Amino acid sequence: MRIGSDYFEVHHLSDGTEVRLRLLRASDRGKIAAGFRRLSPESRYRRFFSPMPRLSERMLRQLTQTDDWDHLAIIAEPVAGDGAAALGVARYVRLRGTPDTAESSVAVIDEMQRKGLGRLLCTTLIEAARERGIHRFRFSILAENEAGKLLLHSLDEHATARIEDGLRVYELDLPEPSLEALFAAPIYRLFKLVAEGVQAVFGSSQFRSARRDVGPSPAARVPLLPDRDR
């Protein structure tokens, strides 16, 4: 397994910034909180579908209690300079009862967007998921979200949805672990389109307690990809 407990890689982004990717640990709680504080109100809304003013202690525990199998997260941090805040995080959570399917999300702080970090996190997350027997990611959109429905169907004309808790729930297959297969896959085009501006469209049922933390809004769910990276 390439992306195991001791995994780390250093990459250069499009502006020359060096970033280190590794698996998230419980000790990164402070970095997650600091990264959240560096998100703009707009990015927070895109991330949580709610004007999330803060991360509660309960939410921080949920975000950092990973097991590297059913719940895995990849953190990006700077190689040089201030390493107190996460620059970005990609994660998946395997669905109970459907072990080959997981929900996923990716977030990148505002000043690191449009530099290739979102794409890097996404491709690494897909590789880690495939290594652990996950073959598809699930995406949820509000039932009235026609724009999200049209986008998904434009990427995969055979995509079908079921209604669950008032949401349309879609699943897209993960590509084989090769760059050629990845970049040709509908799921990569989805990541790329959302990263380029088709944002605040998708939601996820993972971490449902966030809804209780921020209020009664039915849209307060962890969404997919607020990153604007190109």
Q: Domain locations in the chain?
A: 8-214
pLDDT of residue 17: 93
Contact 172, 186 (CB under 8 A): yes
Residue reference for tokens 């998230």: 24
Give the CATH fold of the 8-214 domain.
Aminopeptidase (3.40.630)
pTM for the full model?
A: 0.78
> Is the Cα dihedral 153, 140, 147, 124 positive or negative?
negative
> pLDDT under 50 in the chain at which residues?
195-205, 207-230
pLDDT digit string (tens) for 108-165?
A: 888 998 888 888 888 899 899 999 999 998 877 667 667 667 767 766 677 778 887 7
